[in-house]
Structure 1
Amino acid sequence: MQTSMLYTVGRALTRAHDEGHVVDVLVGGVWLSGRIVGSDTAGVVLEDGQDHCIVRLEGIIAVRVRRGELVEDSADDAMPMPPPGTNRSGAHTARVVDVA
C-alpha cells in the first residue's frame, strides 16, 4: 500500500517556523527572505534581521527552506551550565564522598 503526503506551502512554512529555519518565499516574481516570527491563517511575518515583511499566503508561489541556516537564539535567553552535582536551580543532586 502506497501512502502520499500533500506538502503544501502552509505546511512548509509551519515546519520552517517550528524548526527555526530561514525561508525564501517567491511573491510576485520577487524572492523575500527571513525567519518566520509570526503567522496566522492569512499570512506570515518574515524578519531579516532589520525589517519585517508581512506576506499573504495566497500570494506565495514557492517556498525555499534553508535547512543549513538555523537561526540562533539571542544570548539573552541563554543559561549557563549548572556546576557538576547540581541541577538548574542550584540544588545538589549528588553527594561526593572522598574515600581516602
Structure 2
Amino acid sequence: MSNSSKEKHAPLHVMAPDKFQDECAVFGIYGHREASNFTYLGLYALQHRGQEGSGIVSSDERNFYAERGIGLVSDIFTKKEIRRLRGNKAIGHNRYS
C-alpha cells in the first residue's frame, strides 16, 4: 500500500474542540401575526452571539420577504423594514465570523 492511501483529513478531535463556542445566532417564530417583530427582538437579545450582520426572512404562505444588512440589529432594521416582513412565520440570523 502506498503513502497516498493514508488518511488526509485531520482527526476529529483536532477539528471539533470540546469547548462551547459563541458564534452566530438563529431565532424563529411560527404561527404568530407579529412573527417578524418577535424575531427582531429575539435577534436583538442574542446580539452578543454575532454583531457583524443580521437578516430576517418571513413568509405569508405564498411569498418570502427578506431584509438583511451589515452591523448591529438595531442599525439594520427600522419599523418600516419590519412591517415589510409580512406573514406569521419568520426566521433570523446574527452573523459572527
| Length-normalised TM-score, structure 2 | 0.33
- Bigger radius of gyration among the two: 1
Q: Which structure ranks higher in relative contact order (CA pairs < 8 Å, sequence separation ≥ 6)? A: 2
Which structure's residues are more often helix, by fraction? 2
